[in-house]
Amino acid sequence: MAEGYRPQFRQTARIREIGRYLETHPGEPVTLPQLSRRFGVPVTTMKRCFEAVYGMPVSRYLRRVRIRRAAALLRSTDDTVLSVAGQVGYSNGSKFAAAFKAEMGVNPSEYRRTEEPEPADFQKAGD
């Protein structure tokens, strides 16, 4: 991405809509072309603008949203780790565990056993 790229206001608003959609539908399978069609933004433009607005690619943002939601579920429910993985869009337990550990620093079972607060370094759209 070109350093200093600034999307136009209309593009920024549409990108924030995409971010909110990802936050409210973390368990749904989604592809960049699907998002592009749904929000009427060409894939290349969407990728460039999304990174300018959120500071990370769409895929990284979605992984972060999903893992943060999973962390909340692990702390607030007795659902199995595999069930939680499915609720946030992972059909493969080992891929979920790897993504969880990459994002949170511990595997899902260890996280569930800890009493530490949720990481606060993730800001939602509009914060």
Backbone angles phi, psi at 14, to 5 degrees: -65, -40
Split at pLDDT 50, 70, 90, the class of 5 is low
Question: What integer pLDDT is reported at residue 127 of this predicted model?
Answer: 46
- Single-letter code of the amino acid located at 48: R
The alpha-helical segments, DSSP class H, found in 77-113 are 81-87, 93-104, 108-113
The alpha-helical segments, DSSP class H, found in 1-127 are 9-24, 32-39, 43-54, 58-76, 81-87, 93-104, 108-113
Backbone angles phi, psi at 124, to 5 degrees: -80, 165
Cα 122 versus chain centre, distance: 10
Is the pLDDT reported for residue 18 higher than 70? yes
**Which domains, from first to last, does the chain contain?**
9-60 (1.10.10), 63-113 (1.10.10.60)
Distances from the Cα of 71 to the Cαs of 7, 46, 66, in angstroms? Answer: 32, 28, 9
Question: What integer pLDDT is reported at residue 10 of this predicted model?
Answer: 75
Q: What does the alpha-carbon distance between residue 125 and residue 30 come to, in Å, rounded to a whole number?
A: 18
Output the six-digit token pair for 20.
């909110």
Residue-wise pLDDT for 43-95, tens only, equals 999 999 999 999 999 999 999 999 999 999 999 999 999 999 999 999 999 99
Q: List the single range of 3-12, 48-57, 110-119 with lowest mean pLDDT.
A: 3-12
Predicted TM-score (pTM) of this structure = 0.81
Split at pLDDT 50, 70, 90, the class of 7 is low
Please enumerate, as own/partner, the contacts of 109-114 that have beta carbons within 8 Å and a separation of 24 or more: 109/81, 111/71, 111/74, 112/74, 112/75, 112/81
Is the pLDDT reported for residue 1 higher than 90? no
